[in-house]
Amino acid sequence: MFKKLTTGAVAVALAASVQISSVSAGESLYIPQLSYRTGPFAGGGTPIANGFGDYLAMLNARDGGIGGVPIVSDECETGYNSQKGVECYEATKGKGALVYNPYSTGITLQLIPKAPVDKIPVFSMGYGLSAAAIGEKFPWTFNYPATYWDQLSSIIKFIDSQDGGIKGKKVGFIYLDVGYGKEPIPLLDQLSKEMGFKVVKIPVGVKEMQSQGSQWLKVRKERPDWMIMWGWGSMNPTAIKEAAKIRYPMDHFIGNWWSGADVDLRPAGAAGKGYRSANMAASGTDFPALQDVLKYVVDKGKSQVKDRSQVGTVLYNRGLYNAVAVAEAIRTAQKLTGKKVITGADMRLGLENLDLSAARLKEIGLPNFALPIKASCKNHGSGGAIFMQQWDGKKWVKTSDGITPMTDRVRAALEKAADKYVAGKPDWVTQKCGG
């Protein structure tokens, strides 16, 4: 027994030491992928990771990478757990990581202070800390196309345009009780005061995600006119089922863009008919770039998707869109610096000067896939529009054009929040934006 154990231990120790000394060598663009394919949030994390990975794999297979440099990507499993996310960050940052896409607001919050020190930008696409959109205060953090606060204001704007306005109405806000769900609350409180509606907040703890009986009893008690949901993972399908159970009018129930995936609505099926959610990218595979993904990656068996039908779902395309933005930022950085192999600092420059216009989207084979993104030194993410989609019992149908956020209100609130964030930190790195 003992001898076996010692030999085993020695073998393992040797193996580990070999691993530590091996460094990814050669000319490549290293993009670590913090994904979660396990745990209660795997339903959302898996398609995102697939879409993200498959697009980069397609670029490698079709074009040999970006600007002739191959992309190397590692997945590190976070389980949507902030602590594991930081561990993944620490484990991969030394390998020349260009950018981190944490896919968790909790992990994003932890990485924000690390980014300027390690000189690796954090790109939380449509999530994370809203105030990080203020480029002067957060040079290393990006969250376009829109922050949570933008998105919330767009949803409120949408509600305001329905049924004779939002004034005097009661809005229920059901949210996952972690950093992510709590993020938009300051703006919600502010808007409720300014626009004259009442807010009922209903938190759902991570442990109660799958048994929301009490939460929806409270909804029944309070009878809000509208419900807004900031949910993720297995919270979403449960919430929709529970809403159907208490016969809440589905077309008055709006999810943000993390609460509107195919996996969220399929369990409810016809009962979820009428449920709306925000979105930022088109679904389906009718785009040349997605066809290329199918051709070069999925059909060759290089993807982790189980079958072709998973390509083109809401979250798959979201992950792919994220990879598109990263790839385009790398291209921009290569153009700006003239280097082929770039560093995290160059990547920051690329992200800051990203101009993903409608024309450029068409060029890369994604015409009308999403609304254009244009970043600047001042603005790292605020202001993008969202569109609404509605579940027809079987699939999502796009029902609105871009709804722009209430930029006047949001920008001021974001700046205030950014100041508050920086206030207690004397060593915080900021930047000045000329003009």
Partner 1 sequence: MFYREAGQYKTSYKADSAIFPILQDRIAIWFYLAVAFIAVPLFGSEFFINSMMIPFLIFSLAAIGLNILTGYTGQISLGSGAFMGVGAYSTYKLVTIFPDMNVILAILLSGFFAAFIGMIFGLPSLRIKGFYLVVTTLAAQFFLEWAFIRIPWLYNYNDSGAIEVPNRRVFDIVVSGSEASATTRYLVVLSIVVGLTWVASNLIHGRIGRSWMMIRDMDIAAELIGVRPLVAKLSVFAVSSFYCGVAGAMMVFLWLGAAEVESFDVNQSFLILFMVILGGLGSLIGSFMGAGFIWMLPIVIRAIPKILGLDINASTVEHINFMIVGALILVFLIVEPHGLARIWAIAKQKLRVWPFPY
Partner 2 sequence: MDFLYSLFVGPFVDMFSTPDFLLQVLWEGFVTGTLYSLIALGFVLIFKASGVFNFAQGIMVVFSALTLVGLYQAGVPAYLALLLAVGVMALLAIGVERLVLRHMVNQPDIILFMATIGLSYFLIGLGEFIFGGETKSMITEQLGLPTGSTTFAPFGGVLILQHIDIAAVVIAAVLVAGLAFFFSKTRIGRALRAVADDHQAALSVGISLNQIWAIVWFAAGIVALATGIMWGARSDVSFALQIVALKALPVLILGGFTSIPGAIVGGLIIGFGEKLFEVYWGGLLGGGVEGWFAYVIALIFLLFRPQGLFGDKIIERV
- What is the contact surface with partner 1 in residues (CB under 8 A)? 1-2, 5-6, 12, 15-16, 18-20, 22, 35-38, 42, 75-77, 79, 81-83, 86-87, 90-91, 94, 105-106, 109-110, 113-114, 116-117, 129, 177-179, 182-183, 185-186, 205-206, 304, 417, 424-427
d(CA 286, CA 368): 11
Residue with tokens 């949507």: 80
d(CA 255, CA 253): 7
**What does 366 interact with, of partner 1, partner 2, none (CB < 5 to 8 A by kind)?**
none
**What does 83 interact with, of partner 1, partner 2, none (CB < 5 to 8 A by kind)?**
partner 1
Torsion of the alpha carbons at 407, 370, 326 and 395, rounded to the nearest 10: 110
**What does 179 interact with, of partner 2, partner 1, none (CB < 5 to 8 A by kind)?**
partner 1
**What does 75 interact with, of partner 2, partner 1, none (CB < 5 to 8 A by kind)?**
partner 1
CB of 195 to partner 1, least distance (A): 20
**What does 270 interact with, of partner 2, partner 1, none (CB < 5 to 8 A by kind)?**
none
- List C-alpha distances in Å: 307 to 3, 31, 298: 47, 25, 8
d(CA 45, CA 197): 34
**What does 202 interact with, of partner 1, partner 2, none (CB < 5 to 8 A by kind)?**
partner 2
If the CB atoms of residues 90 and 355 are measured against partner 1, the closer one turns out to be: 90
d(CA 208, CA 136): 39
CB of 36 to partner 2, least distance (A): 8
**What does 245 interact with, of partner 2, partner 1, none (CB < 5 to 8 A by kind)?**
partner 2
**What does 162 interact with, of partner 1, partner 2, none (CB < 5 to 8 A by kind)?**
none
CB of 234 to partner 2, least distance (A): 4
CB of 16 to partner 2, least distance (A): 21
What crossing angle do the helices spanning 213-222 and 235-245 adopt, rounded to 10°? 50
CB of 398 to partner 1, least distance (A): 32
CB of 409 to partner 1, least distance (A): 17
CB of 200 to partner 1, least distance (A): 16
Helix (H) or strand (E) holding 200, with range, is strand 198-204
Which residues 6+ apart lie within 8 Å of 94 measured at CB? none
Residue 179: CA count within 13 A, CB half-sphere:
15
SS3 labels along 206-256: HHHCCCCHHHHHHHHHHCCCEEEEECCCCHHHHHHHHHHHCCCCHHHEEEC
CB of 49 to partner 2, least distance (A): 12
Hey, how many other C-beta atoms are within 10 angstroms of the C-beta on 430? 13
Binding site for partner 2 (CB under 8 A): 37-40, 42-43, 46, 177, 201-203, 205-214, 217-218, 220-221, 233-234, 237-238, 241, 245-247, 263, 266-267
If the CB atoms of residues 173 and 287 are measured against partner 2, the closer one turns out to be: 173
For residue 261, give the nearest of 34, 33, 50 by alpha carbon: 50
d(CA 417, CA 133): 11
